Amino acid sequence: MSELALLAEKLDAADELADKRADFVLDEVVYLDGNSLGALPANVPGRVADVVHRQWGELRIRSWDESGWWTAPERIGDRIAPLVGAAVGQIVVGDSTSVNVFKALVAAVRLAGDGRDEILVDATTFPTDGYIAESAARMTGRTLRPVRPEEVPGALSERTAAVLLNHVDYRTGRLHDLPSLTAAVHEAGAVAVWDLCHSAGALPVGLDEHGVDLAVGCTYKYLNGGPGSPAYLYVRQGLQDRFDSPLPGWTSHAEPFGMHTTYTPASGAPRGRVGTPDILSMLALEAALEVWDDVTVDAVRTKSLALTDFFLRAVSEYTPAGRVESLTPTRHEHRGSQVALRCDDAGEVMKRLIERGVVGDFRHPDVLRFGFTPLYVGFGDVERAARVLGEELAAT
């Protein structure tokens, strides 16, 4: 047994989150793609069966009240709140990340008011955020200006209405400085909107602590809500009475069952609702979030950094010199919970890794991406992944 394999055994034996692995349905593969789709929590199938057979099959329409369907968006939002550093009453669950980005960004421009005619967007963002930002700019009569996150402080001006940024870069795993960038946006008199898709459930966010205005995120990555599980929208308490959604649906009305012809927004987080909640996937998410009941985000972050440190060390020792290049920052304060490796034949390499039971993903044109979900990934998994990667790279 190699030195790294022995070290992995010792680290697993000392891991305070090791028991959480039993809360997930896992097989013999090393699953390092939780930054795309989290593993299935073991309690979810039974909960979904109850929702389908009893709540829907037997109670039917009564479940909107008796099973808590109607209040699920806010109730589940309150479950997510501590994972992103927010007090209750500020998060509503529903719709997709894309829809919530649209709601947040247009609302941010409206909050900023007249006289500010420019939107800044992360130039390295996930494509959908860029598409929506461009559409939001056209619809609100603003100019869209793509800038890299590190360029934001110098790009801000009295023209800036809103800034849309990613907390963690989806390609490289770079963690951006949410506190300082939010402060810079506020100093310029603009509104900060953050996309938390690659940070929520993997590291502390501190929405309330750092005064973030609006934030959105998905729930199917590190929160393990399942494919297509609903996203969420955070609206800071102090802004809620001025939050003007561009999608004023009936469930965000102050009297949703009044069937009024004019719109009056609800108070609080429900202003972020639009249409009928997607109950099946929403209640699957609620069950999935139970794995967090006895876990702190700080403990998850500590293990995440240890896992990624160990993986980078193992890759350095196991892979042929010069065969891969890490795109992920080595400094902890700049790293999310994934490692991205540049490799000329990355697509073919990832196919071979998956055939051998190491599941990551490939990002065009040359990036091997590995996500580390501390609730179910162990150090033995990491050592095996790096060893198999080294063998495959040496073979080509």
Catalogue the active-site residues: 126, 195, 220-221, 369
Looking at the chain, list the stretches that DSSP marks H as alpha helix, in order from N- to C-terminal side. 3-13, 44-50, 63-66, 72-80, 97-112, 127-140, 152-155, 178-187, 279-288, 297-318, 346-355, 379-395
The C-alpha atoms of residue 184 and residue 170 are separated, in whole angstroms, by: 23
In the Cβ-directed half-sphere of 245, how many Cα atoms lie within 13 Å? 29
Peptide bond into 365 cis (omega under 30): yes
DSSP 8-state secondary structure symbol assigned to residue 55: I
Handedness of CA 124, 224, 372, 343 (dihedral sign): negative
Q: Residue written as tokens 């198999």?
A: 388
The C-alpha atoms of residue 326 and residue 61 are separated, in whole angstroms, by: 53
The C-alpha atoms of residue 55 and residue 74 are separated, in whole angstroms, by: 19
The C-alpha atoms of residue 213 and residue 215 are separated, in whole angstroms, by: 7
Residue among 199, 226, 240, 344 at smallest CA distance from 283: 226
Secondary structure of 183-215 in HEC code, one letter for each residue: HHHHHCCCEEEEECCCCCCCCCCCCCCCCCCEE
Residue pair 275/253 in contact (Cβ under 8 Å)? The answer is no
Task: Report the relative pairing of strands 358-359 and 30-31 from DSSP bridges.
Answer: parallel
